Every structure is written in C-alpha cells, then in structure tokens.
Structure 1
C-alpha cells in the first residue's frame, strides 16, 4: 500500500532499495538522527569523492591538442533538507550545462515520475561532455562498491579517472558487478539528461578502484527496474527486514511490530512469504499453526529464548591441534588482518599500509606460512589438525582472492600460495566451518551468528557492541594522520579480531560439552 506521508517528499535512489517503510519514517520522524554507522558510511563516501575530485583533470594535457576548449565547473554540494540550497544547486547545474562545460562536478537534478507522480532527486558526481559534437553528457557516479572484477575472458569499456573529458573509452579485461542502488542513480541521471535532450545513453561508475570509471553502455537497461521500484511505492506499516538491525528507526518500529504481533518479528523479509500465503500474519498465528521449526522459533521469541536445539544431542568438532582463524578486510580492497588463536596464544598477521600491493601480499604470505607450518608440525607428530572459522564465506573469499592477485609472488623470505594450494586447503578436512555445525544443530529467532551463539555459550567481547560495520570505519581512521587516534583504533581492531577467534574456540568447546544451558524444544 502506498503511504500518503511519503507522497510529497523527494525520492533518492537509496529509498528504492530494501525497506519500504524507512522512507515513510523519515518523513514522519525527521527529528531522529542517523546512526553512527550511517554517519561513518557517509564519511567514507565523502572521502571517496574527494579522492576522485583530486584525480579529475583540470585542463588539457600535452598532446591533447587545443582544438577544443576544456572547461571544468565544480558546483557546491547542497545539503538534503535545505530547499533553497537544492534549488540553487539544480539551477547551477543547468547553467553549467548551458556553458557546455567539459566536466561538471556536484551536479543535481530533480524531476517527477510521470507514472506515479513521485518527485525524485539525484546527485551526479561528474558529468562528462561527450566528444562527438552531440552535446550530450555521460553521468559518472562515485560508489564504495566494487563495481568491476578482473576477468581475462570478458571485456568492458572504461576511462581512466584522470582522463575523463579528454580520452575515449578503452576495452579492459573486467566484468561488471551490478549494485541496485548504483543502477538506480544512473537511471535517474539518464532520465534527467533525457528530459534536457543531453542523454548520451551511457553511464559510468567509479568504485573502490578510484583510478577508473567503468562504463555501462546502455543506461536504458536500468529503466524497467527503476520504474518497478517507483511504482511499488511505500508501505504504511512496518515489517522486519535485515536492515532493521542497524536502522535509526528501529526503536520506533519495534514497538509497532510488537503491538501488531507481526510475523516478521520471527520470520523477517521473504522468510514469511509462505506463511502469509497461508493467511498467517502474526506470531501467535504461527505458534498456533504448529508447523514445526517456524512455530518453535515463534514460541522461543515469545518466551525470550535465544537458541533452541534441533537435535537430541549437540556435539562439536575436535582435533589434536586446533587453530581458530578470523579475517578482517576493508571493503573489497583487501584483507589486512589474519588472526589466529591456538588455544593459548593469539597471533595477528596485520598490515596498516594501503592495500593492493606488496604489504598486503607479504602479510598474507606470512600468515599462510605460519598456518601451514603448524599443520605440518602436527602431521609430523602424528596428530590430527584443524583450522576453524565461523562462517567461512568471508575467509574463503579472501583466501582465494589473495591467491589470485598475489599467488607465486616472493616477498622477502615468504612466498604467496597459489590458487591451487589454497583450493586444496579449503577443500580438505583440515579447514572446518564451525557455523555449519551450529546450523545443523541449533536455531534461534534472532539468528545463529557468532555474537548470539557465543553469548549464549557465556563468552563476552572486550569491546561490547563493536561490529563489523564499526571495524570498517575504524580501519579507515587507523590509517589517518592523527597518530594517537590511529594507534588506539589499531589496538581496538586487534582486540576485536582476537575476541572473534577466542569466541569461535569457546563455541566449539561449548558444542563439544553438549551446549549446556540450552532449553529443549
């Protein structure tokens, strides 16, 4: 159902992704400030834009010729909620277009969706005038996503950031990685340029590689999804989804959901789809339906029970030599910390240098050598060996990604493993995902993440409340110029990683003891 509270407010691309109630709540409760995590994400995006702005050309270089004038116009950013500033920014954008500037930064467009009447707004980090005498513009946005992945078998078009407005696109061996919010931004930008008769039909995204703008050759491909998202409108009641955990409006929405006895409190997002098709929309209804695990989870939620056993007897993995591993990465740029706990001592392998080069490669190689040495020593002693992590997706990704990028490199006295070596280890019985043991044996209305399970097992983090989102922000500041602050954050990141390794070990021991304290179903 569309909500009247949202009808007059301008929609931005982020409003069309995820929760369909957040936009409504923002209009109802403008007094609620953004969360610290949201502020940190905004700061990271501002920092990314600043890097890009510094890389953009300011004039034609030697060899570019002088037949065409080069004009760069940098527009002042407008703060959301300041109507006069937004109107001024829109007018300044139109003036810059009329001046036929080669590059326009900080552009802002506003429009109204014809089908729904929704007013919308889109900021475009860079507008690049096409060199083909059409007068059209290429919209380029800056994103903190990884927007393209190296791929020797595929090609796509790209322009170096420092050559935007100066050079044509080149074919590079990458494949596009689509992110919905980025697509919506480019779709809205294309709509705005189309209304002005200046749409080139192409769009660009500068992602975590700030040196390259990767091109989408046909922005009209974004239109169907954009239209569908706008037509979907917004709900006038909340439903719990994944984003609720970090949303500033959760303290307002949760009481509403509890008052409604909303089934999404137990089955968030699409997990309740089948139950809704059966006509079950409340927690009470789910309990009364008595449909196995979902009903058990609903009873557990009502009774405040965080975990339930799925099996009669809970067990855990065991080996003679046990190492618990946890990895920390910064966005998609690289893994900077591999931590290991051997039951007695925590050993971190960390680099505080910028990622993507010898420092990251050498750090990974030192971790790998240490881990394989412990494995080999156990084998030589006739002992079984296991390295554990909790939910291996992240570790497996960065084991493989590090080997692909650096495999075979010799850095000082260490060599980065090849992808084949990494694959052999990941596929062996010596690499164990503790989460798979938990998932087979336990369930909980709030999920079975490490914090939940280890907390129920009696483990407490030193920095209570510090999250993965916090660690990303802390890593950026840990490379900052404020030495005292950087050192404090580095120590916090190491504590956080150590706690994750120790918590994984604690969960294993708890599982092996039969998960004492769990209430039976």
Structure 2
C-alpha cells in the first residue's frame, strides 16, 4: 500500500473511533503529524476531543512548568544550531549560498514553499503540509550544486534533537547501514562523508524526518537523505554536541513510518509510559480501573502474551495464582505475573523471590561462596567474617547534560568523600581523574593486604558512560603529579571486572515489583531515610547551575547573596549525593539479611 494510502487509511480508522467523544465540529480530515505516530495513539483522539470541548485536560502546575522548560530547552538547542549554520559561501565553494529563517507568524507553510521555489540552500523553522500529512522540521538543506529551482533540486530534512544520534562502531558497517557526517557550519556547502558510526534515533525524530521526506518527495524535491543533529557526550560531538549532522538514507526511516501508519488506533485506552505526564491521565485511568485492565500492571505491550491467551483483566490474571499447575502449560508468559497481579489488587508493591534463587549469588558476598550459618541472632549478618574483611566502597555520580559530570561521591563505610567540579568553565575532567586516582589507591592497598575489594553503584549505566567518555577524551592526561586520567582500556578493564558491582542488578534478582525498583523506592524498604527528599536528578541539574553561577536569581541581589546561594546549592548537592552513596550500602546489607519485611512470591 503506498504511503499516502496508508495515511488515509490510518486517519479514516482514527476518525471512526472518535465517534463517542468527538462532535462534527471538527474538520473532516486533520493531517497526521509525527506526534500522532509515536507514543499513545489514544491521546491523538483526546486532543481533538478537547478542541471540541468534549474532554477537559488536567495538567498540574508542575507539569505545565516541565513542559515549558522542555520547550525552552528545545528552543535553545535550535538557537545553538542556527547560530552555527553558515551565513555565506566559503572561499572555493562552488555554490551560491542563501538562507531563509522562517518566522512562525501563521504563514510558515507558505514561507517554506516560497523558499523552496527560490532554491534557497538552507531553510530554518520550515513547515510542510498537505491534506494527509503535516510536519514542522528544523532545517531543510539543499544538497545539489545548482542555483534557483530545477529538476535536480534536492533537499534533505534535518531535525535537531536532545537524543544521541550516533555511536562509534567497533567493526565494519554494511553499506546499507552506513552513516555520513557533515559539520553544521558546512551544511548546504559540503557533501557529507562516511564515518565509522552507527545511527541511533528515537521514534519521534525518525517520524519527523520521514514525514518531511515524503512531503518533499511529493513536491519532487526530495534528496533521498535525512539528517539528525544531536547533543551530549554519547553522540558524535563530545560534551555539548550540536556541531555535526548525521546523515542516513531516507529508506531507513520510511519503513518505520509505514508500520506506524498501519498500526490500529485503539478503541480503548491502554496504559503506557507517557501516561504519567499526560493531561488526560485521569480520564483514561477511570476507564482502566473500572475494567481492571491488564495494562494497569503490565503497560504497553508487556501484557500482549496474556491477552493472546484471553486474559485481559487483573482479576483474571490474579485468579491464575491459585492454579500454579496451569501456569506451567502456558507458553511465553512470565509465571510471576499472576502473583504480582494479586499483589497489585491488594496494594502490595514488592514481592521477594524465593531465597534459593538469589541469596547465594557471589556478587552479594564479595565473591565468596555462600556458607549457610548454623545460627544467626536478630540482625546478625551471615558470613560476617568474610564480609568484614572486604573493602567495600559505594559510588554515585552527578552530571549536567551539557557540561558532563560535576560530582563523584564515595563512601567507604565510615566516611563520605566527594570529588567535585563547581568551576564555571569546567576542569576538563580533573575531578574525574582525582576520583579514579583515589579509588585505585584504595584498590591497590586492599590487594597489598590480601583483602577483597569491591566498588558498588546503583544502576551503573550512567557511571560507565561518563567514565568511558572522559577516558576517551582525556585518557593519559596528567593534571598534577600523580593525578592522571585513565585510558579507555584501563577503565574498561575495571568496569568489566568482578570488582565493579551493580546493586540494582542484585535487587532485580531478589525482588519482583509492580512499581519502580529505583534506589529511592528500594532503600526505604531497607529502612533508609533520605535527607534531601525534594531533590531529584532534574533538581540537581538546576542546583548545579546555581552553584556555578549560571543562574543568578534576582538580578538586584548583591554578590554576597549570590555567593551564599551558590554555597547553599553546593552543600545540598553534596548531601544529596552522599545519600545516594549511603543508600546502596543499606540496601546491600538488607539483601544479605534476606530482604526482611517483603512478602514472599510463591508459584
């Protein structure tokens, strides 16, 4: 089925489903946008129903602030890219450079068409639309060498995103999966060149450039390529990003667009990840709770296997917990789900898996083989002698999305020690090198005294990412005598060793949950109380900006007040980080005691 027909089919299906809640005050056909094809499809219906006044959206003040902040960050990203774009041709360039910045005054679509008709080389803030599809696209970049408009005129749609757009590959890449790059400062002037990268993209970014490509193709102006400009250290540009554009063939995103257009619009709501921040959350949840829908516990596609077996509600699923023999005959399902469904209906969030499945794991006991104690008093740890002779250090890291890490905290069981960078311009990784030097010194001392050494964190992806990032950028650099950034091979050797342990992995083995297994949730089960209850990762970023003076607050406040605000923000960040070092130690001890206080999961 051609893409245009798929769009009409999809939207006709959606319109038919809108009957109960949407009046005929809406236009007969509303173009499909990238937002309609990602995340919750039910929300597309409700947004149009809200326009007709049939549904009232509910959004908290905090959620409104978050959305506004998200829009502002997106605007800052676009501004950063726009300011880096060329403004004139360079000496030796064979093209005549021109650029049009579309002003969103209600005529963006018409302005875009005029710029395309004039053959402008770079168009920013473009909008493309027809009766079936519509798309706002950050950039349209001309790739051919011509001037004016001709049959060879070809444009590439480019989106600016906060997501990582590519990662370096470890081996050869097939030609069909190849990635090309071009500097943002050379867009419209230089030809993208092949780079040893693997493309990564979110669904919304892919749908945006795919729809823009289809619309350009209908105008006869598509180049066959699409582009992504991403930021962050995980991309192609290092910390800060937005300096290079990743280019791939449009065919690689068109398949995803066709699949999205073919997906049916749900007749009833299903809980998905986006529900937590949706203005229609309560509207849908009432219907879900009334029916006891399976997605209340198994959101999205997680309940697909049960639905295929005819189990659509939590009461039906919970009933299977009393018939364990039947579970062994059901293919492709999680046998724990019925017990978790019964727990969900009883308001129980966590269940403890049978001890035999996890208590003997060597990572929980510093690599020692588990030995069953003959007798234990209340609160007495098994294998206390072996554990007591080990050197155990808990680590937690704080990072700013565009600056990198600014705090690595450590806790050795008695003392919290932070390694910080609160300088305004950054220390180019010196605090990371100091953290690494201290940690490796403790490691050597443990080895020299024939003691076991273990370093722990909770959910290690962030720490792993940033250690590798800094080692890649600054590996081997000496900041002061004895303070040297490790190389990537040194970092990888440690991260892949048994001396680097993820407490989150231990928790996932021990507990089954209906909710989050994040540190804040699990540490409370272990009896740990956080001192900074109102601080989370996003608040930590805001506090860091205050700490380094990027946010001055009241413009009329004097230097002393700003300095006090900066100092207060630093102290709060260190207390917040210290809690995240203490808490994994508390969770680890609690697991070694057998996770007391959590109901057992039996099947």
* Number of residue pairs matched by the alignment: 502
- What CA distance in whole angstroms lies between the structure 1 residues aligned with 2:469 and 2:184? 25
The residue aligned with 1:186 is 209
1:231 CA drift (Å): 2.4
Q: How many angstroms apart in 1 are the aligned matches of 2:438 and 2:280? A: 45
Deviation at 1:44, TM superposition (A): 1.9
The residue aligned with 1:89 is 108
Corresponding position of 1:196: 219
Unaligned 5+ residue runs, structure 2?
A: 1-12, 23-27, 51-55, 147-151, 173-177, 232-240, 322-326, 328-334, 366-386, 553-561
**Gap change, CA 1:389 and 1:287, over 3 Å in 2:** same
Aligned residue in 2 for 1:58: 87
Q: Specify the alignment match of 1:343 in structure 2.
A: 413
Alignment of 1:70-149 (within 5 A): 70-77=97-104, 85=106, 88-113=107-132, 120-133=133-146, 134-149=152-167
Give 1:232 shift.
Answer: 1.4
Instruction: Tell me the distance in 1 between the aligned counterparts of 2:466 and 2:168.
Output: 15
Aligned partners of 2:545 and 2:551 also within 8 Å: no
Does residue 101 of structure 2 align to residue 21 of structure 1?
no
Task: Report the TM-score when normalising by structure 2.
Answer: 0.76
Tell me how far apart the structure 2 counterparts of residues 247 and 477 of structure 1 sit (CA, whole Å). 30
CA deviation map 1:192-227 (0-9, x unaligned): 1112111111122111121111211x2133222102
- Please give the root-mean-square deviation of Cα atoms over the aligned residues, in Å: 2.9
Q: Which moved more, 1:46-55 or 1:104-113?
A: 104-113
What is the Cα deviation at residue 240 of structure 1? 2.1
What is the aligned partner in structure 1 of residue 459 from structure 2?
391
For 1:448 and 1:230, the matched residues in 2 are separated by 34
Q: Distance in 1 between matches of 2:167 and 2:131?
A: 35
Residue among 519, 528, 545 paired with 1:459? 528
Query: Are residues 54 and 352 of structure 1, via their aligned partners in 2, closer, same or farther at CA, if it must alter by over 3 Å?
Result: farther
Q: Decide whether the 8 Å contact of 2:57 with 2:279 is kept in 1.
A: no
Aligned residue among 253, 261, 269 for 1:238:
269
1:32 is matched with which residue?
58
Deviation at residue 10 of structure 1 after TM alignment: 4.2
Q: Distance in 1 between matches of 2:180 and 2:129?
A: 28
- How far apart in 2 are the matches of 1:191 and 1:337? 46
Structure 1, unaligned stretches of length 5 or more?
79-84, 114-119
Higher gyration radius (CA): 2
Deviation of residue 448 (structure 1)? 2.1
3-state secondary structure, aligned to 1:222: helix
Aligned residue in 2 for 1:520: 600
Deviation at residue 440 of structure 1 after TM alignment: 2.0
Aligned to 2:484: 415
Query: Is the contact between residue 307 and residue 453 of structure 1 (CA under 8 Å) also seen in structure 2?
Result: no
1:359 is paired with a residue whose SS is coil
Could you say what secondary structure the match of 2:419 adopts?
A: strand
- SS of alignment partner, residue 24 of structure 1: helix
**Structure 1 position 382, deviation (Å):** 4.2
Match of 2:442 among 366, 374, 394: 374
Distance 1:236 1:498, change over 3 A: farther
Counterparts in 2 of 1:130 and 1:110: CA distance versus 1, 3 Å: same
Matches within 5 A, 1:325-364: 325-331=395-401, 334-352=404-422, 359-364=427-432
- Give the deviation of 1:39 after TM superposition: 3.2
Closer, same or farther: CA 177–41 of 1 in aligned 2, 3 Å: same
Separation in 2, partners of 1:400, 1:12 = 38
1:481 is aligned to 2:504:
no
Mapped partners of 1:203, 1:473: distance in 2: 34
Corresponding residue of 1:504 = 584
Q: Which moved more, 1:249-258 or 1:136-145?
A: 249-258
> SS at the partner of 2:586?
helix
Once structures 1 and 2 are overlaid, which stretch shifts more, 480-489 or 302-311? Answer: 480-489
Q: C-alpha displacement at 1:507, in angstroms?
A: 1.1
- Cα distance change of structure 1 residues 202 and 491 upon mapping to structure 2, 3 Å threshold: farther
Q: Are positions 1:47 and 2:83 aligned together?
A: no
**1:332 and 1:284, CA in 2 relative to 1: closer, same or farther beyond 3 A?**
farther
In the other structure, the counterpart of 1:81 is none
Alignment of 1:427-466 (within 5 A): 427-464=496-533, 466=535
Q: Give 1:474 deviation, angstroms.
A: 5.8
Pair 1:407–1:501, CA change in 2 (3 A): same
Q: Please list the CA deviations of residues 290-345 of structure 1 after superposition, one character each: whole Å capped at 9, or x if unmatched.
A: 24421111111111112111124885544533211122344487444322222333
Match of 1:162 among 176, 179, 185: 185
Any conservation in 2 of the 1:126–1:139 contact (CA below 8 Å)?
yes
Cα drift, residue 453 of structure 1: 1.0
- Indicate yes or no: 2:246 matched with 1:214: yes
What displacement does 1:166 show?
Answer: 2.2
For the residues of structure 2 that align with 1:152 and 1:428, how far apart are their CA atoms?
A: 20
Structure with the larger RCO, 1 or 2 (CA within 8 Å, 6+ apart) = 1
- How far does residue 466 in structure 1 lie from its aligned partner after superposition? 4.0
Which residue of structure 1 aligns with residue 383 of structure 2?
Answer: none
Distance (whole Å) between structure 1 residues aligned to residue 449 and residue 463 of structure 2: 27
* Residue 429 (structure 1) shift: 2.9
- In structure 2, the residue matched to 1:82 is none
Pick closer, same or farther for the CA change 1:221–1:289 going to 2, 3 Å: same
Matches of 2:570 and 2:488, distance apart in 1: 30
**Cα distance, 1:89 vs structure 2:** 1.1
Q: Distance in 1 between matches of 2:570 and 2:220?
A: 51
